[in-house]
Protein backbone atom coordinates (compact mmCIF):
# COMPACT_ATOMS: atom_id res chain seq x y z
CA UNK A 1 0.00 0.00 0.00
CA UNK A 2 1.46 3.36 -0.94
CA UNK A 3 2.21 5.96 1.70
CA UNK A 4 0.24 9.13 1.37
CA UNK A 5 0.61 12.70 2.40
CA UNK A 6 -2.90 12.94 3.77
CA UNK A 7 -3.98 13.31 7.31
CA UNK A 8 -3.60 9.67 8.27
CA UNK A 9 -2.20 7.82 11.23
CA UNK A 10 1.41 6.82 10.74
CA UNK A 11 1.71 3.11 10.21
CA UNK A 12 4.91 1.26 9.40
CA UNK A 13 4.85 0.24 5.76
CA UNK A 14 5.60 -3.40 6.67
CA UNK A 15 2.36 -3.40 8.68
CA UNK A 16 0.48 -2.00 5.67
CA UNK A 17 2.01 -4.71 3.50
CA UNK A 18 0.62 -7.46 5.72
CA UNK A 19 -2.94 -6.34 4.96
CA UNK A 20 -5.07 -6.20 1.89
CA UNK A 21 -8.15 -4.08 1.33
CA UNK A 22 -11.52 -5.38 0.16
CA UNK A 23 -13.54 -2.71 -1.61
CA UNK A 24 -16.99 -2.70 -3.17
CA UNK A 25 -18.49 0.37 -4.84
CA UNK A 26 -22.07 1.57 -4.95
CA UNK A 27 -22.49 3.99 -7.81
CA UNK A 28 -25.56 6.17 -8.31
CA UNK A 29 -26.13 7.62 -11.75
CA UNK A 30 -28.89 10.04 -12.69
CA UNK A 31 -30.71 8.84 -15.79
CA UNK A 32 -30.72 11.22 -18.73
CA UNK A 33 -34.48 11.73 -18.92
CA UNK A 34 -36.30 14.99 -19.49
CA UNK A 35 -38.82 14.24 -16.75
CA UNK A 36 -38.76 12.61 -13.33
CA UNK A 37 -39.13 8.90 -12.49
CA UNK A 38 -42.81 8.90 -11.52
CA UNK A 39 -44.23 12.29 -12.60
CA UNK A 40 -43.94 14.77 -15.48
CA UNK A 41 -41.81 17.36 -13.67
CA UNK A 42 -38.65 18.53 -15.44
CA UNK A 43 -35.27 17.18 -14.33
CA UNK A 44 -33.41 20.23 -15.65
CA UNK A 45 -30.47 21.14 -13.43
CA UNK A 46 -30.24 24.67 -12.07
CA UNK A 47 -33.95 25.62 -12.22
CA UNK A 48 -35.30 28.06 -9.62
CA UNK A 49 -35.62 26.28 -6.24
CA UNK A 50 -38.84 24.25 -5.83
CA UNK A 51 -40.12 25.19 -9.30
CA UNK A 52 -40.02 21.61 -10.66
CA UNK A 53 -42.37 19.95 -8.19
CA UNK A 54 -45.87 18.49 -8.15
CA UNK A 55 -48.07 16.50 -5.75
CA UNK A 56 -46.44 13.22 -6.87
CA UNK A 57 -42.80 14.11 -6.24
CA UNK A 58 -43.74 16.03 -3.10
CA UNK A 59 -45.52 12.92 -1.81
CA UNK A 60 -48.82 14.70 -1.17
CA UNK A 61 -51.73 12.48 -0.07
CA UNK A 62 -53.63 10.87 -2.92
CA UNK A 63 -51.02 11.49 -5.61
CA UNK A 64 -50.25 8.44 -7.73
CA UNK A 65 -46.84 7.72 -9.29
CA UNK A 66 -46.50 6.28 -12.81
CA UNK A 67 -43.15 4.87 -13.97
CA UNK A 68 -41.36 6.88 -16.69
CA UNK A 69 -40.95 4.46 -19.61
CA UNK A 70 -37.80 6.14 -20.89
CA UNK A 71 -36.17 5.84 -17.45
CA UNK A 72 -36.82 2.11 -17.55
CA UNK A 73 -35.36 1.85 -21.06
CA UNK A 74 -32.20 3.66 -19.99
CA UNK A 75 -31.85 1.44 -16.92
CA UNK A 76 -32.23 -1.64 -19.14
CA UNK A 77 -29.64 -0.29 -21.57
CA UNK A 78 -27.18 0.25 -18.70
CA UNK A 79 -27.88 -3.25 -17.36
CA UNK A 80 -27.11 -4.90 -20.69
CA UNK A 81 -24.02 -2.75 -21.25
CA UNK A 82 -22.47 -4.05 -18.02
CA UNK A 83 -23.37 -7.63 -18.83
CA UNK A 84 -26.19 -7.98 -16.32
CA UNK A 85 -29.03 -10.42 -16.60
CA UNK A 86 -32.39 -8.63 -16.76
CA UNK A 87 -34.90 -10.03 -14.31
CA UNK A 88 -38.26 -10.88 -15.98
CA UNK A 89 -40.01 -9.24 -13.05
CA UNK A 90 -38.80 -6.59 -10.64
CA UNK A 91 -40.56 -4.48 -8.06
CA UNK A 92 -40.33 -1.10 -6.39
CA UNK A 93 -40.35 -0.94 -2.60
CA UNK A 94 -40.62 1.88 -0.13
CA UNK A 95 -37.47 2.52 1.86
CA UNK A 96 -38.77 4.40 4.88
CA UNK A 97 -36.76 7.01 6.72
CA UNK A 98 -37.20 10.56 7.86
CA UNK A 99 -35.11 13.32 6.43
CA UNK A 100 -36.10 16.95 5.79
CA UNK A 101 -35.30 16.69 2.06
CA UNK A 102 -37.50 13.59 1.69
CA UNK A 103 -41.08 14.88 1.74
CA UNK A 104 -42.66 11.47 1.01
CA UNK A 105 -41.01 10.00 4.10
CA UNK A 106 -39.70 7.16 1.97
CA UNK A 107 -37.56 6.61 -1.09
CA UNK A 108 -38.92 4.46 -3.91
CA UNK A 109 -36.27 1.85 -4.63
CA UNK A 110 -36.07 -1.69 -5.93
CA UNK A 111 -35.07 -3.86 -3.02
CA UNK A 112 -35.60 -7.60 -2.92
CA UNK A 113 -36.44 -7.74 -6.64
CA UNK A 114 -33.85 -5.65 -8.53
CA UNK A 115 -34.04 -4.92 -12.26
CA UNK A 116 -30.84 -6.77 -13.17
CA UNK A 117 -28.18 -8.95 -11.55
CA UNK A 118 -24.84 -10.69 -12.10
CA UNK A 119 -22.92 -8.39 -14.42
CA UNK A 120 -19.20 -7.85 -14.85
CA UNK A 121 -16.81 -5.13 -15.85
CA UNK A 122 -13.26 -5.58 -17.07
CA UNK A 123 -10.76 -3.11 -15.66
CA UNK A 124 -7.07 -2.48 -16.12
CA UNK A 125 -4.98 -1.20 -13.23
CA UNK A 126 -1.22 -1.32 -12.77
CA UNK A 127 -0.83 -3.09 -16.12
CA UNK A 128 -3.04 -6.02 -15.05
CA UNK A 129 -6.53 -6.83 -16.30
CA UNK A 130 -9.19 -7.98 -13.84
CA UNK A 131 -12.87 -8.75 -14.06
CA UNK A 132 -14.99 -7.12 -11.36
CA UNK A 133 -18.36 -8.66 -10.60
CA UNK A 134 -21.50 -6.56 -10.47
CA UNK A 135 -24.04 -7.76 -7.95
CA UNK A 136 -27.06 -5.81 -9.11
CA UNK A 137 -28.48 -2.78 -10.85
CA UNK A 138 -31.71 -1.32 -9.56
CA UNK A 139 -33.83 1.78 -10.13
CA UNK A 140 -34.78 4.32 -7.50
CA UNK A 141 -35.76 7.95 -7.10
CA UNK A 142 -33.67 10.72 -5.60
CA UNK A 143 -34.27 12.94 -2.59
CA UNK A 144 -34.18 16.75 -2.56
CA UNK A 145 -31.31 18.91 -1.41
CA UNK A 146 -30.72 20.59 1.94
CA UNK A 147 -28.81 23.83 1.56
CA UNK A 148 -26.84 24.59 4.71
CA UNK A 149 -24.84 27.51 3.40
CA UNK A 150 -24.93 30.42 0.97
CA UNK A 151 -27.76 32.41 2.58
CA UNK A 152 -27.42 35.50 4.83
CA UNK A 153 -29.10 33.58 7.68
CA UNK A 154 -27.42 30.24 7.01
CA UNK A 155 -26.09 30.30 10.57
CA UNK A 156 -29.64 29.84 11.83
CA UNK A 157 -31.57 28.18 9.00
CA UNK A 158 -31.19 25.46 6.43
CA UNK A 159 -33.07 25.71 3.15
CA UNK A 160 -34.58 22.91 1.15
CA UNK A 161 -34.87 22.57 -2.63
CA UNK A 162 -37.26 19.79 -3.67
CA UNK A 163 -36.44 20.01 -7.40
CA UNK A 164 -34.34 16.86 -7.26
CA UNK A 165 -37.07 14.84 -5.50
CA UNK A 166 -38.18 12.01 -7.73
CA UNK A 167 -35.32 12.29 -10.22
CA UNK A 168 -34.63 8.83 -11.69
CA UNK A 169 -31.45 7.07 -10.59
CA UNK A 170 -29.85 3.73 -11.11
CA UNK A 171 -27.69 2.22 -8.41
CA UNK A 172 -24.98 -0.18 -9.54
CA UNK A 173 -23.53 -2.33 -6.77
CA UNK A 174 -20.24 -4.12 -7.35
CA UNK A 175 -19.07 -7.31 -5.71
CA UNK A 176 -16.33 -6.79 -3.08
CA UNK A 177 -13.78 -7.65 -5.79
CA UNK A 178 -11.65 -4.50 -5.74
CA UNK A 179 -8.37 -4.67 -3.81
CA UNK A 180 -6.72 -1.27 -4.18
CA UNK A 181 -7.74 2.38 -4.58
CA UNK A 182 -6.22 2.21 -8.10
CA UNK A 183 -8.60 -0.61 -9.02
CA UNK A 184 -11.55 1.32 -7.59
CA UNK A 185 -10.52 4.31 -9.69
CA UNK A 186 -10.23 2.15 -12.81
CA UNK A 187 -13.64 0.58 -12.13
CA UNK A 188 -15.38 3.93 -11.74
CA UNK A 189 -13.61 5.21 -14.87
CA UNK A 190 -14.74 2.20 -16.92
CA UNK A 191 -18.29 2.41 -15.59
CA UNK A 192 -18.53 6.14 -16.28
CA UNK A 193 -17.26 5.60 -19.83
CA UNK A 194 -19.95 2.98 -20.48
CA UNK A 195 -22.73 5.18 -19.06
CA UNK A 196 -21.55 8.03 -21.29
CA UNK A 197 -21.21 5.85 -24.39
CA UNK A 198 -24.72 4.50 -23.92
CA UNK A 199 -26.08 7.99 -23.13
CA UNK A 200 -27.69 6.63 -19.99
CA UNK A 201 -26.35 9.48 -17.85
CA UNK A 202 -24.34 12.66 -18.38
CA UNK A 203 -22.21 11.51 -15.39
CA UNK A 204 -21.60 15.12 -14.37
CA UNK A 205 -20.04 14.66 -10.94
CA UNK A 206 -20.16 18.37 -10.09
CA UNK A 207 -23.93 18.39 -10.60
CA UNK A 208 -24.31 15.13 -8.69
CA UNK A 209 -25.31 13.02 -11.71
CA UNK A 210 -22.70 10.44 -10.72
CA UNK A 211 -22.08 9.64 -7.06
CA UNK A 212 -20.02 6.98 -5.43
CA UNK A 213 -20.01 5.31 -2.01
CA UNK A 214 -17.49 2.65 -1.02
CA UNK A 215 -17.64 -0.32 1.32
CA UNK A 216 -14.16 -0.85 2.69
CA UNK A 217 -12.64 -3.47 4.95
CA UNK A 218 -9.14 -4.81 5.48
CA UNK A 219 -7.87 -8.29 6.30
CA UNK A 220 -4.49 -9.95 6.69
CA UNK A 221 -3.18 -11.12 3.35
CA UNK A 222 -4.13 -14.72 2.77
CA UNK A 223 -7.12 -14.54 5.14
CA UNK A 224 -10.36 -15.86 3.67
CA UNK A 225 -12.79 -14.05 5.90
CA UNK A 226 -13.67 -10.42 5.22
CA UNK A 227 -13.01 -7.88 7.96
CA UNK A 228 -15.71 -5.58 9.33
CA UNK A 229 -16.55 -2.98 6.71
CA UNK A 230 -17.20 0.71 6.93
CA UNK A 231 -19.19 2.56 4.31
CA UNK A 232 -17.55 5.76 3.09
CA UNK A 233 -19.93 8.27 1.58
CA UNK A 234 -19.53 11.48 -0.38
CA UNK A 235 -16.88 10.30 -2.84
CA UNK A 236 -18.07 12.65 -5.50
CA UNK A 237 -14.94 13.07 -7.55
CA UNK A 238 -12.29 10.67 -8.75
CA UNK A 239 -9.73 12.43 -6.59
CA UNK A 240 -11.88 12.09 -3.46
CA UNK A 241 -12.38 8.41 -4.20
CA UNK A 242 -8.64 7.72 -4.29
CA UNK A 243 -7.81 9.89 -1.28
CA UNK A 244 -10.67 8.64 0.87
CA UNK A 245 -9.91 4.98 0.15
CA UNK A 246 -6.21 5.43 0.89
CA UNK A 247 -7.07 7.15 4.13
CA UNK A 248 -9.73 4.67 5.19
CA UNK A 249 -7.53 1.64 4.51
CA UNK A 250 -4.71 3.08 6.59
CA UNK A 251 -7.13 4.05 9.35
CA UNK A 252 -8.52 0.53 9.59
CA UNK A 253 -5.07 -1.08 9.57
CA UNK A 254 -4.11 1.36 12.33
CA UNK A 255 -7.12 0.34 14.42
CA UNK A 256 -6.32 -3.37 14.02
CA UNK A 257 -2.59 -2.96 14.62
CA UNK A 258 -3.23 -1.12 17.87
CA UNK A 259 -5.40 -4.01 19.05
CA UNK A 260 -8.77 -2.40 18.36
CA UNK A 261 -11.74 -3.53 16.29
CA UNK A 262 -13.19 -1.81 13.23
CA UNK A 263 -16.75 -0.66 13.88
CA UNK A 264 -19.42 -1.15 11.23
CA UNK A 265 -20.50 2.39 10.51
CA UNK A 266 -21.10 4.99 7.85
CA UNK A 267 -18.28 7.48 7.44
CA UNK A 268 -18.11 10.68 5.49
CA UNK A 269 -15.13 11.89 3.48
CA UNK A 270 -14.27 15.32 4.86
CA UNK A 271 -12.64 17.11 1.95
CA UNK A 272 -11.29 20.02 3.99
CA UNK A 273 -9.74 17.82 6.68
CA UNK A 274 -8.71 15.11 4.17
CA UNK A 275 -9.98 12.31 6.37
CA UNK A 276 -13.00 10.09 6.82
CA UNK A 277 -15.15 10.82 9.86
CA UNK A 278 -17.90 8.83 11.54
CA UNK A 279 -21.33 9.97 10.34
CA UNK A 280 -23.67 7.49 11.97
CA UNK A 281 -23.66 3.90 13.08
CA UNK A 282 -24.43 1.75 10.07
CA UNK A 283 -28.12 1.15 9.65
CA UNK A 284 -29.27 -2.30 8.61
CA UNK A 285 -31.84 -3.09 5.95
CA UNK A 286 -34.51 -3.91 8.55
CA UNK A 287 -34.22 -0.36 9.92
CA UNK A 288 -35.87 0.90 6.73
CA UNK A 289 -39.01 -1.25 7.04
CA UNK A 290 -38.98 -1.98 3.31
CA UNK A 291 -42.28 -3.05 1.79
CA UNK A 292 -43.55 -3.24 -1.82
CA UNK A 293 -44.89 0.11 -3.01
CA UNK A 294 -48.65 -0.47 -3.28
CA UNK A 295 -49.03 2.44 -5.75
CA UNK A 296 -46.74 0.95 -8.39
CA UNK A 297 -47.13 -2.12 -10.58
CA UNK A 298 -44.26 -4.56 -10.66
CA UNK A 299 -42.02 -4.15 -13.71
CA UNK A 300 -42.12 -6.96 -16.26
CA UNK A 301 -39.62 -6.99 -19.09
CA UNK A 302 -40.23 -9.23 -22.07
CA UNK A 303 -37.57 -10.93 -24.18
CA UNK A 304 -38.76 -8.78 -27.10
CA UNK A 305 -38.04 -5.59 -25.17
CA UNK A 306 -34.60 -6.86 -24.17
CA UNK A 307 -33.83 -7.80 -27.79
CA UNK A 308 -34.95 -4.37 -29.01
CA UNK A 309 -32.73 -2.59 -26.51
CA UNK A 310 -29.80 -4.85 -27.34
CA UNK A 311 -30.25 -4.07 -31.05
CA UNK A 312 -29.97 -0.34 -30.43
CA UNK A 313 -26.92 -0.67 -28.20
CA UNK A 314 -24.03 1.43 -29.50
CA UNK A 315 -20.59 -0.12 -29.83
CA UNK A 316 -19.17 -0.19 -26.28
CA UNK A 317 -15.72 1.13 -25.30
CA UNK A 318 -13.97 -2.25 -24.99
CA UNK A 319 -15.27 -3.44 -28.37
CA UNK A 320 -14.28 -0.15 -29.99
CA UNK A 321 -10.75 -0.32 -28.54
CA UNK A 322 -10.32 -3.85 -29.90
CA UNK A 323 -11.70 -2.92 -33.31
CA UNK A 324 -9.49 0.18 -33.60
CA UNK A 325 -6.41 -1.98 -33.01
CA UNK A 326 -7.36 -4.66 -35.51
CA UNK A 327 -8.95 -2.46 -38.16
CA UNK A 328 -6.49 0.46 -38.10
CA UNK A 329 -3.33 -1.25 -36.81
CA UNK A 330 -2.87 1.32 -34.04
CA UNK A 331 -1.34 0.62 -30.63
CA UNK A 332 -3.46 -0.36 -27.61
CA UNK A 333 -2.40 2.93 -26.02
CA UNK A 334 -3.58 5.04 -28.98
CA UNK A 335 -6.78 2.99 -29.16
CA UNK A 336 -7.39 3.79 -25.50
CA UNK A 337 -6.81 7.52 -26.03
CA UNK A 338 -8.96 7.72 -29.16
CA UNK A 339 -11.91 5.86 -27.65
CA UNK A 340 -11.96 7.95 -24.47
CA UNK A 341 -15.25 9.39 -25.70
CA UNK A 342 -17.55 8.43 -28.53
CA UNK A 343 -17.18 11.88 -30.07
CA UNK A 344 -13.39 11.60 -30.22
CA UNK A 345 -13.58 8.08 -31.68
CA UNK A 346 -16.05 9.33 -34.32
CA UNK A 347 -13.73 12.23 -35.15
CA UNK A 348 -10.79 9.84 -35.67
CA UNK A 349 -12.83 7.59 -37.93
CA UNK A 350 -14.05 10.57 -39.95
CA UNK A 351 -10.44 11.72 -40.52
CA UNK A 352 -9.48 8.25 -41.77
CA UNK A 353 -12.57 8.04 -43.94
CA UNK A 354 -11.63 11.39 -45.50
CA UNK A 355 -8.39 9.85 -46.73
CA UNK A 356 -5.76 10.16 -43.99
CA UNK A 357 -3.55 7.21 -43.08
CA UNK A 358 -4.87 5.70 -39.82
CA UNK A 359 -1.53 5.78 -38.01
CA UNK A 360 -0.92 9.44 -38.92
CA UNK A 361 -4.45 10.34 -37.89
CA UNK A 362 -4.03 8.49 -34.58
CA UNK A 363 -0.80 10.20 -33.70
CA UNK A 364 -1.82 13.71 -34.81
CA UNK A 365 -5.13 13.54 -32.97
CA UNK A 366 -3.75 12.08 -29.77
CA UNK A 367 -0.82 14.51 -29.62
CA UNK A 368 -1.39 17.75 -31.58
CA UNK A 369 -5.17 17.99 -31.55
CA UNK A 370 -5.79 16.92 -27.95
CA UNK A 371 -3.06 19.24 -26.69
CA UNK A 372 -4.55 22.23 -28.51
CA UNK A 373 -8.10 21.37 -27.41
CA UNK A 374 -6.84 21.06 -23.85
CA UNK A 375 -5.00 24.41 -23.99
CA UNK A 376 -8.09 26.09 -25.42
CA UNK A 377 -10.34 24.33 -22.84
CA UNK A 378 -12.45 23.06 -25.72
CA UNK A 379 -14.30 19.80 -26.16
CA UNK A 380 -13.88 17.75 -29.36
CA UNK A 381 -17.41 18.81 -30.31
CA UNK A 382 -16.12 22.42 -30.49
CA UNK A 383 -13.02 21.51 -32.52
CA UNK A 384 -12.37 24.27 -35.09
CA UNK A 385 -10.66 21.84 -37.47
CA UNK A 386 -13.14 19.63 -39.33
CA UNK A 387 -12.11 15.97 -39.83
CA UNK A 388 -11.89 16.46 -43.61
CA UNK A 389 -9.61 19.49 -43.14
CA UNK A 390 -7.25 17.54 -40.88
CA UNK A 391 -7.23 14.69 -43.42
CA UNK A 392 -6.16 17.12 -46.19
CA UNK A 393 -3.23 18.30 -44.07
CA UNK A 394 -2.12 14.76 -43.15
CA UNK A 395 -2.17 13.67 -46.80
CA UNK A 396 0.13 16.60 -47.66
CA UNK A 397 2.54 15.68 -44.86
CA UNK A 398 2.53 12.00 -45.76
CA UNK A 399 3.10 12.77 -49.45
CA UNK A 400 6.04 15.02 -48.52
CA UNK A 401 4.44 18.20 -49.88
CA UNK A 402 5.30 19.81 -46.57
CA UNK A 403 7.56 18.64 -43.76
CA UNK A 404 6.15 17.36 -40.49
CA UNK A 405 7.58 20.46 -38.79
CA UNK A 406 5.75 22.77 -41.22
CA UNK A 407 2.67 20.58 -40.84
CA UNK A 408 2.55 21.39 -37.15
CA UNK A 409 2.77 25.12 -37.89
CA UNK A 410 0.01 24.82 -40.48
CA UNK A 411 -2.11 22.85 -38.05
CA UNK A 412 -1.70 25.53 -35.38
CA UNK A 413 -2.95 28.16 -37.86
CA UNK A 414 -5.82 25.92 -38.95
CA UNK A 415 -6.82 25.52 -35.32
CA UNK A 416 -6.64 29.27 -34.64
CA UNK A 417 -8.21 30.58 -37.86
CA UNK A 418 -10.31 27.72 -39.24
CA UNK A 419 -8.54 28.14 -42.63
CA UNK A 420 -7.75 25.12 -44.80
CA UNK A 421 -4.23 23.69 -45.11
CA UNK A 422 -3.69 24.52 -48.82
CA UNK A 423 -4.51 28.18 -48.24
CA UNK A 424 -2.08 28.48 -45.31
CA UNK A 425 0.72 26.65 -47.11
CA UNK A 426 0.41 28.95 -50.14
CA UNK A 427 0.13 32.13 -48.07
CA UNK A 428 3.14 31.32 -45.86
CA UNK A 429 5.26 29.70 -48.58
CA UNK A 430 5.63 26.50 -46.58
CA UNK A 431 5.69 24.02 -49.44
CA UNK A 432 8.55 21.61 -48.92
CA UNK A 433 11.68 22.27 -50.94
CA UNK A 434 12.42 19.11 -52.87
CA UNK A 435 14.34 20.91 -55.61
CA UNK A 436 17.81 19.37 -55.09
CA UNK A 437 19.67 22.19 -56.87
CA UNK A 438 18.11 24.74 -54.50
CA UNK A 439 19.11 22.67 -51.48
CA UNK A 440 22.61 22.18 -52.86
CA UNK A 441 23.02 25.92 -53.33
CA UNK A 442 22.14 26.52 -49.67
CA UNK A 443 24.42 23.66 -48.57
CA UNK A 444 27.39 25.16 -50.40
CA UNK A 445 26.74 28.59 -48.90
CA UNK A 446 26.54 27.14 -45.37
CA UNK A 447 29.81 25.25 -45.83
CA UNK A 448 31.55 28.30 -47.25
CA UNK A 449 30.47 30.37 -44.26
CA UNK A 450 31.83 27.85 -41.75
CA UNK A 451 35.40 26.95 -42.66
CA UNK A 452 36.25 25.99 -39.04
CA UNK A 453 33.56 23.35 -38.92
CA UNK A 454 34.51 22.13 -42.36
CA UNK A 455 38.05 21.60 -41.08
CA UNK A 456 36.69 19.68 -38.08
CA UNK A 457 34.62 17.51 -40.38
CA UNK A 458 37.63 16.78 -42.54
CA UNK A 459 39.72 15.82 -39.51
CA UNK A 460 37.14 13.13 -38.75
CA UNK A 461 34.70 14.92 -36.41
CA UNK A 462 31.44 13.39 -37.61
CA UNK A 463 29.51 15.32 -34.98
CA UNK A 464 29.66 18.57 -36.93
CA UNK A 465 27.57 16.97 -39.68
CA UNK A 466 24.51 17.63 -37.53
CA UNK A 467 25.55 21.26 -37.30
CA UNK A 468 25.52 21.56 -41.10
CA UNK A 469 22.13 19.83 -41.35
CA UNK A 470 20.76 22.24 -38.75
CA UNK A 471 22.13 25.26 -40.63
CA UNK A 472 20.61 24.15 -43.94
CA UNK A 473 17.24 23.51 -42.29
CA UNK A 474 17.42 26.94 -40.68
CA UNK A 475 18.26 28.68 -43.95
CA UNK A 476 15.33 26.92 -45.61
CA UNK A 477 13.01 27.69 -42.69
CA UNK A 478 12.56 23.97 -42.02
CA UNK A 479 11.07 23.40 -45.44
CA UNK A 480 13.82 21.37 -47.05
CA UNK A 481 13.21 17.68 -47.40
CA UNK A 482 15.35 16.26 -44.55
CA UNK A 483 16.42 13.18 -46.48
CA UNK A 484 17.55 15.25 -49.46
CA UNK A 485 19.49 17.58 -47.14
CA UNK A 486 21.37 14.64 -45.64
CA UNK A 487 22.29 13.15 -49.01
CA UNK A 488 23.31 16.44 -50.58
CA UNK A 489 25.40 17.55 -47.59
CA UNK A 490 27.30 14.25 -47.52
CA UNK A 491 28.14 14.59 -51.19
CA UNK A 492 29.08 18.27 -51.08
CA UNK A 493 31.17 17.86 -47.89
CA UNK A 494 33.05 14.97 -49.48
CA UNK A 495 33.84 17.20 -52.47
CA UNK A 496 34.79 20.24 -50.40
ZN1 LIG B 1 -43.39 16.01 -9.87
How far is the centre of ligand 1, averaged over its atoms, from the C-alpha of 99 (Å)? 18
Q: Please give the Cα distance from 350 to 346 (Å, whole number).
A: 6
pLDDT string in tens for the chain (496-residue length): 444 444 455 677 788 889 999 999 999 999 999 999 999 999 998 899 999 999 999 999 999 999 999 999 999 999 999 999 999 999 999 999 999 999 999 999 999 999 999 999 999 998 899 999 999 999 999 999 998 888 999 899 999 999 999 999 999 999 999 999 999 999 999 999 999 999 999 999 988 899 999 999 999 998 989 999 999 987 888 988 999 999 999 999 999 999 999 989 889 888 888 888 887 666 666 788 999 999 999 999 999 999 999 999 999 999 999 999 999 999 999 999 999 999 999 999 999 999 999 999 999 999 999 999 999 999 999 999 999 999 999 998 998 888 888 899 999 999 999 899 888 888 877 777 777 788 888 889 999 999 998 889 888 888 899 999 999 888 887 778 888 888 888 888 888 7
Provide the terminal-to-terminal Cα distance of the chain, rounded to the nearest Å.
65
How far is the centre of ligand 1, averaged over its atoms, from the C-alpha of 43 (Å)? 9
Q: How many CB atoms lie within 10 A of CB 192?
A: 18
pLDDT confidence of residue 80: 98
421-437 confidence digits (pLDDT tens): 888 888 877 777 777 78
pLDDT confidence of residue 10: 63
How far is the centre of ligand 1, averaged over its atoms, from the C-alpha of 166 (Å)? 7
Number of H helices, E strands in the chain: 17, 16
How far is the centre of ligand 1, averaged over its atoms, from the C-alpha of 28 (Å)? 20
Strands 230-233 and 265-270: parallel
196 near 341, Cβ under 8 Å?
Answer: yes
Q: Provide DSSP, 275-332.
A: EEEEEEEPP-GGGG--EE-TTSPPEE--HHHHHHHHHTPPPPHHHHHHHHHHHH---H
How far is the centre of ligand 1, averaged over its atoms, from the C-alpha of 53 (Å)? 4
How far is the centre of ligand 1, averaged over its atoms, from the C-alpha of 41 (Å)? 4
134 near 27, Cβ under 8 Å?
Answer: no
How far is the centre of ligand 1, averaged over its atoms, from the C-alpha of 54 (Å)? 4
Its sign, for the CA torsion 409, 413, 418, 421, is: negative
pTM confidence score = 0.84
How far is the centre of ligand 1, averaged over its atoms, from the C-alpha of 207 (Å)? 20
How far is the centre of ligand 1, averaged over its atoms, from the C-alpha of 211 (Å)? 22
How far is the centre of ligand 1, averaged over its atoms, from the C-alpha of 51 (Å)? 10
397 near 360, Cβ under 8 Å?
Answer: yes
How far is the centre of ligand 1, averaged over its atoms, from the C-alpha of 164 (Å)? 9
- Please tell me what DSSP assigns to residue 346: H
Torsion angle of the four alpha carbons 66, 71, 75, 78, in this order, in degrees rounded to the nearest 10: 180
CA atoms within 13 A on the CB side of 277: 8
How far is the centre of ligand 1, averaged over its atoms, from the C-alpha of 65 (Å)? 9
Strand-pair partners of 211? 28
127-158 confidence digits (pLDDT tens): 899 999 999 999 999 999 998 888 999 899 99
Q: Please give the Cα distance from 422 to 481 (Å, whole number).
A: 18
| Residue ranges near ligand 1 (ion) with Cβ within 5 Å | 39, 41, 54, 56-57
How far is the centre of ligand 1, averaged over its atoms, from the C-alpha of 59 (Å)? 9
Q: Please give the Cα distance from 413 to 432 (Å, whole number).
A: 17
How far is the centre of ligand 1, averaged over its atoms, from the C-alpha of 50 (Å)? 10
How far is the centre of ligand 1, averaged over its atoms, from the C-alpha of 104 (Å)? 12
CA atoms within 13 A on the CB side of 404: 8
Backbone phi, then psi, for 15, in 5-degree steps? -65, -45
Q: Please give the Cα distance from 160 to 490 (Å, whole number).
A: 79
How far is the centre of ligand 1, averaged over its atoms, from the C-alpha of 40 (Å)? 6
If you count them, how many residues does the chain have?
496
CA atoms within 13 A on the CB side of 324: 30
How far is the centre of ligand 1, averaged over its atoms, from the C-alpha of 94 (Å)? 17
How far is the centre of ligand 1, averaged over its atoms, from the C-alpha of 167 (Å)? 9
pLDDT confidence of residue 235: 86
How far is the centre of ligand 1, averaged over its atoms, from the C-alpha of 103 (Å)? 12
pLDDT confidence of residue 272: 84
How far is the centre of ligand 1, averaged over its atoms, from the C-alpha of 146 (Å)? 18
276 near 265, Cβ under 8 Å?
Answer: no
How far is the centre of ligand 1, averaged over its atoms, from the C-alpha of 203 (Å)? 22
How far is the centre of ligand 1, averaged over its atoms, from the C-alpha of 138 (Å)? 21
User: Hey, is 356 helix, strand or coil?
Assistant: coil
pLDDT confidence of residue 283: 66
Amino acid sequence: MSRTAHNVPTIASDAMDRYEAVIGLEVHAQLLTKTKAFCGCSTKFGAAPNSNTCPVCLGLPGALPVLNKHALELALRASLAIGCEIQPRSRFARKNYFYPDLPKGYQISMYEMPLATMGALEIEAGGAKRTIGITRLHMEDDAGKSLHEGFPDSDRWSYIDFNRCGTPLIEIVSEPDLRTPEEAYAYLTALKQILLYTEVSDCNMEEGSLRCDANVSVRLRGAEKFGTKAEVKNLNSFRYLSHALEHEIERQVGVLESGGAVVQETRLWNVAAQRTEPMRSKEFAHDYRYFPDPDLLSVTVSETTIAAIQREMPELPAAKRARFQSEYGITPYDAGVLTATRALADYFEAVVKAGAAAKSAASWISVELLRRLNDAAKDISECPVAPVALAELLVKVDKGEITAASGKKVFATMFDTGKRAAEIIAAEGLAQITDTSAIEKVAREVIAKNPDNLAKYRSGNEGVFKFFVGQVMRETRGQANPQAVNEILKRVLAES
